[in-house]
Amino acid sequence: MTAPAIPGYRYGDPSLPPAALDAAAFAELRAACLLGEDDLAALREAAPIIEPQVDAILDTWYGFVGSHPFLLASFSTPAGPNEAYLAAVRGRFGQWIRDTLRGEFDERWLRYQREIGRRHAAGKNETDGISGAPAVVPFRHVVALIVPITETMRPFLAKGARDADQLERMHRAWFKAVVLSVALWAEQYTREGWW
Ligand code: HEM
């Protein structure tokens, strides 16, 4: 059985631009995040724990965005929050959780990270054909959101962790993977040659 297609989701699309980093530079970035093979294993352990909770996690994150007007602004037009936009991104956001927990940080993953970064910056609004919403997600907000996206994951991981040690390993691996992702997305926000 194949999963229903998620509108606008382009992971693995061969027409995406190439990865921005070669294997050596990506290995360096992973090393800077202290993201080792043990972390990839911990992400994969977390995947089946999180899978049945993806919707609940998205409810939490959307609740966070929705309760902070300066964040909700990125999804809003002068008429107010755009529900269709929020809903379209939600489907891809859920898939991003699954993709991150697969821990397959390969060329295909790198190419899609470049696209996700672009969608927060110069390519914002394009995918869902939105007009009237801000042209860019402020980068300071993207960096700051690493904190709630990390903190709020812990109780969901705790629901399936077999012990405190496994919980800690899975949670730390999640944090590293989110930082790694945002470090890649930063390319879209930095001056040519400065990334
Ligand atoms: C660690 C921080 C963040 C993570 C992990 C994250 C994750 C994501 C993901 C996975 C998507 C969908 C990508 C796709 O199209 O496949 C997305 C899109 C989006 N995010 Fe974020 N995000 C972060 C920060 C933020 C912040 C602070 C805002 C501001 C409210 C924001 C607003 C948006 C918007 C508006 C879109 C849709 C962009 C478009 O028009 O395509 N994000 N984000």
Q: Whose CA is nearest to atom 3 of ligand 1?
A: 142
CB 149 near ligand 1, within 6 Å: yes
Here the CATH number for the domain that contains residue 159 is: 1.10.490.10
Answer yes or no: is 41 within a domain.
yes
C-alpha distances in angstroms, 57 versus 62, 151, 152, 155, 172?
Answer: 9, 11, 8, 10, 17
| Minimum CA distance residue for ligand 1 atom 19 | 120
Answer whether residue 14 is part of any domain. no
Would you tell me the crossing angle of helices 23-32 and 164-185 to the nearest 10 degrees?
130
What whole-number distance in Å separates Cα of residue 104 and Cα of residue 157? Answer: 20
Q: Which of 67, 119, 125 for mutating ligand 1's site (highest number of atoms within 8 Å of CB)?
A: 119
- Residue with CA closest to ligand 1 atom 29: 71
Contact between 150 and 175 (Cβ < 8 Å):
yes
pLDDT in tens, 83-138: 999 999 999 999 999 999 999 999 999 999 999 999 999 999 999 999 999 999 99
Give the domain extent around 53: 23-189
- How many domains does the chain contain in total? 1
Ligand 1 in reach of 119 Cβ (< 6 A): yes
Q: Is the pLDDT of residue 1 over 60?
A: no
Task: Report how far Cα 45 is from the mean position of its chain's Cα atoms.
Answer: 18
Q: Is the pLDDT confidence value at 3 over 70?
A: no
The pLDDT tens digits of the residues spanning 19-49 come to: 999 999 999 999 999 999 999 999 999 999 9
Of all residues in the chain, what percent are helix, strand and coil, respectively (each to 5)?
65, 0, 35
65 lies in a domain? yes
